[in-house]
Chain A
Amino acid sequence: MVDEPVFSEVVSFAGYLPNKVVYTKDIAPIGSIPRKIDFERLTGIISHREIDDGQDSVELAYEASIKALKRGNIKAEDIDLIINCSVSKLDNKLNQILEPSFSAFFAKRLGAINSDYFDVGNACSGMITALKIADMYIQNGMAKNVLVTSGEYITPVIREAQNTSFWLNPDAVPSLSVGDGGGAYLLGATSNPNLLRFGEPQTLAQYDSYCIADAAIRAPGPKMRTKGKKLHQAAMKQLITSFQRTLDVLGLEWMEIDHIITHQTSAKIIERGNNLTVDVFGQCKCYHICVDETGNTASTSHAVALEQGLKENHFSEGEDVLLHSYGSGLSIFIAHFIIPKGVSSWS
């Protein structure tokens, strides 16, 4: 008897945003940034969310994950493997979780008592990287139910940036574009090879210094420094080729793809990217933008956009979604998946 090959599928997904809404005009009023830059106009980000009292990176991941488990009709104790890809990994005292892995703390919070766990670090491409690793664990028979999750409590970089001089540290300005959020995908095993697939992963490491996050100087929590214009130019330069290569690898036609979600960095950049793709491939069916109300939620940005799409009833079972990720490094990775059954009944 020959074993049937095993592939993976997205059983469910969820994004989570904390309740507190913070407006860009309040954190970056005109005059606070050199050359009287209107940050809201520059980025198209009107507001973002910040954690509620007592929340932290683990809680953001938890809130998204319990939603994903409920939608996937899976109990926490049935999960074999948890892969976390949070960049921030902050507790609510701004301490970074180092050892054991963030996912060990998360597994305990979730009650995933039978689950193996580890973390993946690949900046904003972490989620797609973790999905690929989860897919391989399933294909190689090492897991059946995998929860890929992230909680990004990253708004402390806004506070740090506000306390610096933007004249002396212009690379701190992009820190004002982030927002807190959580994301989760539940993956399961299937015999269908077409439910979750990936483009070729690439790291263009010549751009590795364009966005760096580490501990703040003389203050608790993290700081982030981004050469925004250079990073944007480097990413845009690859956009068309990365899409074209993925279409070729996966045998897809651009006009047939139901939903395209790129990394939510800024509304203006996403619109610019969309215009580039329209010129080459034509107008796609649905290009999602949620960053205007969420800010850049790092590795959770696609999950947050998917959740917004669910709220607006954009998705139907059997439709396909292309998730295009960019992460500092500069890594580029694209996932393609089919909206699972039962999506219309998800709460």
Chain B
Amino acid sequence: MVVIAAWADGPITTKNNIKGCAKLARRACEDANISLQDIGIVIFSGVYRPNFRSEPSCASHIQNKLKIRCKDLELSSKHCFSFDIIDGSRGAHRAIQTASHFIKNSETKYALVVCADVKPTKQSKWLYENHALAMVISSHASGLKFISSNYSSGKLTAHTKSTFDTKKKVSVLNYVGDTNHSGEIEIEKEFKSDSSSLGSIQMRDFLLWSNNKKGELKHTIVDRTGAMSITHWRV
């Protein structure tokens, strides 16, 4: 079983998004009282990247910015593994689930999960505020315990793609279709995030809400297509 040992969030800029993510990750590691070199897995789960970057993984950029085990292979050297998970707003849940699998199936005790989204190009219509959330996931710490997650599909009535604006001569965001947003709902032990927010905000709001709570908790994220993820937690 893994826990969120510490987390940090804040605004970031498109230009300095990796720097911003790394700063938050460093702060989360300090709060978790671990060295950056303890991290064996870095997972990035954002959707919107600067200039629609498709490779390499943003996680590898964050790993390099933090200088986590950046060295050539030797027969017994310890390394970090970085990759991205893309699953709309559900990315945070999916990344935590995947981190828990890696921790369970390897010698790694600590994973860094970063959820961040930025306006891809200056000319794009952007419905959000750039934001990042960094979480230290661990099997060796106290904190909010992740129990399980389950997922259900949405309908493809709404989607977002890049498109080339022939007048501005640049790729921009193109929001297609209608979205039925559901607002934030708080019940005693359940928190359903506001689906009009970015995934990192939805996760951050749950983490804030979970403060001072006891027992079993439930967090629901719904993305703009209606796809849903439900995670179960214990404090």
Contact A329 B90 (CB under 8 A): no
Query: What 1/0 flags go to B149-175 for Cβ under 8 Å of A?
Result: 001111010011111100001110110
Contacts of B152 on A, CB cut-off 8 Å? Answer: 116
Contact B60 A329 (CB under 8 A): yes
Contact B156 A105 (CB under 8 A): yes
How far apart sit A139 and B98, CA to CA, in the bound complex (Å)? 12
How far apart sit A212 and B82, CA to CA, in the bound complex (Å)? 16
Q: Report the nearest B residue to A113, measured CB to CB.
A: B153
CB distance from A216 to the nearest CB of B (A): 8
How far apart sit A203 and B61, CA to CA, in the bound complex (Å)? 10
Contact B154 A100 (CB under 8 A): yes
User: A67-111: which residues lie under 8 A (CB-CB) from chain B?
Assistant: 87-89, 91, 93-102, 104-105, 107-108
Contact B73 A213 (CB under 8 A): no
CB-CB under 8 A for A99 and B51, given A140-B101, A329-B60: no
Q: Which of A97, A115, A204, A222 contacts B72 (CB 8 A)?
A: A204
SS class, residues of chain B in contact with chain A: mixed
Contact A212 B56 (CB under 8 A): yes
User: A241-276: which residues lie under 8 A (CB-CB) from chain B?
Assistant: 241-242, 244-245, 248
CB-CB under 8 A for A97 and B159, given A118-B94, A205-B82, A331-B81: yes
Interface stretch (choices A35-43, A44-52, A119-127): A119-127
How far apart sit A205 and B74, CA to CA, in the bound complex (Å)? 15
Q: Which residues of A line the B interface, CB within 8 A?
A: 87-89, 91, 93-102, 104-105, 107-108, 115-123, 125-126, 129, 133, 136-137, 139-140, 200-206, 208, 211-216, 218-222, 224, 237-238, 241-242, 244-245, 248, 327-333
Contacts of A214 on B, CB cut-off 8 Å? Answer: 49-54
How far apart sit A137 and B105, CA to CA, in the bound complex (Å)? 11
Contacts of A102 on B, CB cut-off 8 Å? Answer: 86
How far apart sit A52 and B31, CA to CA, in the bound complex (Å)? 53
User: B51-107: which residues lie under 8 A (CB-CB) from chain A?
Assistant: 51-61, 63-64, 68, 70-75, 79-88, 90-91, 94, 98, 101-102, 104-105
How far apart sit A100 and B158, CA to CA, in the bound complex (Å)? 8
- B225, CB-defined interface residue at 8 Å: yes
Kindly list the 9 A-B residue pairs having the minimum CB-CB distance in the complex, ordered from nearest. Answer: A220-B164, A121-B84, A205-B64, A329-B60, A136-B101, A329-B56, A201-B81, A205-B63, A118-B87
How far apart sit A329 and B49, CA to CA, in the bound complex (Å)? 16
How many A-B pairs have beta carbons closer than 8 Å: the answer is 206
SS class, residues of chain A in contact with chain B: mixed
Contact B79 A200 (CB under 8 A): yes
How far apart sit A275 and B130, CA to CA, in the bound complex (Å)? 49
User: B105-159: which residues lie under 8 A (CB-CB) from chain A?
Assistant: 105, 120-121, 151-154, 156, 159
| A–B complex contacts, Cβ < 8 Å, 11 sampled | A88-B54, A95-B164, A118-B86, A119-B85, A203-B80, A212-B53, A220-B164, A327-B56, A329-B55, A331-B57, A331-B60
Q: Report the nearest B residue to A86, measured CB to CB.
A: B54
How far apart sit A96 and B170, CA to CA, in the bound complex (Å)? 13
- B194, CB-defined interface residue at 8 Å: no
Known A203-B79, A204-B79; further 18 A-B contacts with Cβ < 8 A = A94-B164, A98-B160, A99-B224, A119-B86, A122-B57, A140-B104, A202-B73, A203-B57, A203-B80, A205-B61, A215-B171, A216-B171, A219-B169, A222-B54, A329-B55, A330-B60, A331-B81, A333-B81
CB-CB under 8 A for A213 and B88, given A116-B151, A238-B72, A242-B73: no
Residue among A204, A205, A212, A244 facing the most chain B CB atoms (10 A cut-off): A205
Q: Which of B52, B56, B72 contacts A96 (CB 8 A)?
A: B52
Contacts of A203 on B, CB cut-off 8 Å? Answer: 42, 57, 59-60, 63, 79-83
